[in-house]
Amino acid sequence: MPTAETPRPTEVARRLRVAYGIDEPERHEADDPLGGLVGTILSQHTSDVNSDRAYASMRNRFPTWEAVRAAPEGELADSIRSGGLANLKARRIKQCLDAVVERFGGLDLSALASAGLDEARARLRELPGVGPKTAACVLLFSLGRPAIPVDTHVHRVSRRLGLIGPKVSADAAHALLEAALPPEHVYEFHIDMIRHGRRVCHAQRPDCAKCVLRDLCDYYAAVH
């Protein structure tokens, strides 16, 4: 059980770590935050398989970021067609690359590695179409910063557990969850909450009998 010394979010992270094991942090595109940004844009509203295929196709056709930025929008869209919403994503990618050059002086986001977390997040959020989740993905996976991307699984499980309020939006949940966890637990918490949402805490008919968090869960207490 959580105690004054072990708050509920930390106990949740501990139990999920025991249940699902410990992973080494996954780093995207050889720690290239610009690649992480573009990859995250491509991952929106599609599967990992499709977005990975679109990313590989794009890099095969346009092997440098300068080439991606200079590509006609239609040709870029053709190269990422397998990821869905190709026209919209091509436009967003080109807008982001233009904004990166304007605000960072070149096609390079590595300066964010040494910036404060709040500053790095704010600078990413200034880029066109970059919301809290996209910014957090770049910070966590490409820069190794303690940011929590709140996807549908993290949001649902956090609300059911009572780690955030029932009316807290996914966007607002980023700051609340990050503030509640020690930085060293952020990566495993994010990964394991997704696993738990997919395997146990389903959107419909959660499998509470198999849940290692039952005694910590507001939802379980309310329905059982």
Phi/psi of residue 151, each to 5°? -90, -170
In CATH, what is the architecture of 8-23+149-223? Orthogonal Bundle (1.10)
Confidence of residue 141 (pLDDT cuts 50, 70, 90): very high
Q: CATH 1.10.1670.10 occupies which residues in the chain? A: 8-23+149-223
* CATH superfamily for domain 29-142: Hypothetical protein; domain 2 (1.10.340.30)
Mean pLDDT of 102-110: 96
Which pLDDT belongs to residue 30? 46
CA angle, residues 123, 141, 200, in degrees to nearest 5: 120
Q: What is the pLDDT of residues 46-95, one digit of tens each?
A: 999 999 999 999 999 999 999 999 999 999 999 999 999 999 999 999 99
What type of residue sits at position 178? E
Single out the catalytic residue among 89, 94, 133, 167: 133
Phi/psi of residue 59, each to 5°? -70, -30
Q: What is the mean pLDDT of the chain?
A: 93
Range with lowest mean pLDDT among 2-11, 90-99, 198-207: 2-11
The DSSP 8-state label assigned to residue 48 in this structure reads: H
Phi/psi of residue 22, each to 5°? -115, 130
Mean pLDDT of 138-146: 94
Which pLDDT belongs to residue 27? 58
Q: CATH 1.10.340.30 occupies which residues in the chain? A: 29-142
Give per-residue burial for 28-53: e unless 16+ CB within 10 Å, then b: bbeebbbbbbbbbbbbbebeeebbbb
94 labelled catalytic: no
* CA separation, residue 4 to residues 10, 89, 180, 205, 218 (Å): 11, 46, 13, 32, 18
Q: What is the pLDDT of residues 161-188, one digit of tens each?
A: 999 999 999 999 999 999 999 999 999 9
Which pLDDT belongs to residue 21? 86
Residue 8's CB is within 10 A of a number of other CB atoms, namely 16
Mean pLDDT of 15-27: 81
